[in-house]
Structure 1
């Protein structure tokens, strides 16, 4: 299904540099510039570009957008008139996820394994997110998580 997001013409003052072949889906003005949604990334004011596979979650409220990257970095952008940007961001983040599975690693918790589609490529990247309280640097726990990931990759074919 092809979604139509409205105006795709990006004003020159947006200051966003697109990669060859990257398409603008929708944009909105912010107090600091523009939020631009493309088929490959979320471009935020200040020349910050987040490829869709690097976004763990995006949350909207009445004032704007909070984006949590897969490395845990949170970015907040005020967007007074977001237009269709929230729907476009939700669709892009959701469609980037190929697999999202939680696996128990004993009595104390587990790990969330997420495979995300890399925009413009025929590839996926995996993230392991350990439950709070678990030490992701513990060699035994890490080995159990890696084995569970290998089993899941084999099962899912990703």
Structure 2
């Protein structure tokens, strides 16, 4: 039988994860889940995962290694079949991003981490619009909020990354980006 205090702590989300990442000032844990060998933590500013095998991470106060993903770095997060699948964005040149590698994390006890990750990633997106390009293909114009930073971070995400090398496609995409920034009051007036 569960201790009534444990039940109340879980209901009020006051229980702490078994390991805590090295949080910045004014950051705090908002959700966590256990994996087979470690813990994953969502904070106000980031998703903290165990580092991949052989990869270096940052060390928490208890000596635990962590891999930090800011909410604006995550392109997609899907909860499916007991696993959280996170796809990060990789900047391939200034202002142009593409999908990075997927990170699949099987959660033994998911708690409310998947829902919190989805909420935080969604909230980081201030603007997103997909456009068909006249040269074929498409581009997504995206503006993200970065916790602790003023303003928005704007990016282009081509459906086919090689389209960015086609001068006409690139010029059209840059024009769409400028139009979006101006409409948001975040760019030079035309």
TM-score band w.r.t. shorter chain = 0.7 to 0.9
- Cα displacement (A) at 1:134: 5.2
For the pair 1:54 / 2:52, whether they are aligned, the reply is: no
Show the 5 A alignment for 1:16-31.
16-31=21-36
Q: Unmatched 5+ residue regions in structure 2?
A: 1-10, 52-65, 91-99
RMSD: 1.9
Question: CA 1:108/1:156 → structure 2, altered by over 3 Å: closer, same or farther?
Answer: same
Verify the 8 A CA contact 2:137 2:163 in the aligned structure 1: no
- Cα displacement (A) at 1:140: 2.7
- Cα displacement (A) at 1:7: 3.1
State the match for 1:156 in structure 2.
184
Show the 5 A alignment for 1:79-158.
79-132=107-160, 135-158=163-186
TM (normalized to structure 1)?
Answer: 0.87
Verify the 8 A CA contact 2:39 2:50 in the aligned structure 1: yes
Q: Unmatched 5+ residue regions in structure 1?
A: none
Whole-angstrom CA distance in 2 between matches of 1:135 and 1:53:
23
Verify the 8 A CA contact 1:8 1:25 in the aligned structure 2: no
- Cα displacement (A) at 1:87: 1.1
2:85 to 66, 91, 104: 66
More displaced stretch, 19-28 vs 127-136: 127-136
- Cα displacement (A) at 1:101: 0.6
Runs of 4+ in 1 over 4 A off after TM superposition: none
Whole-angstrom CA distance in 2 between matches of 1:154 and 1:147:
11
Could you list the per-position Cα deviations for residues 71-114 of structure 1 after superposition, in whole angstroms to 9, with x for gaps in the alignment?
22211111021011111111101100000111222051221011
TM (normalized to structure 2)?
Answer: 0.74
Q: 2:120 is paired with a residue of what secondary structure?
A: helix
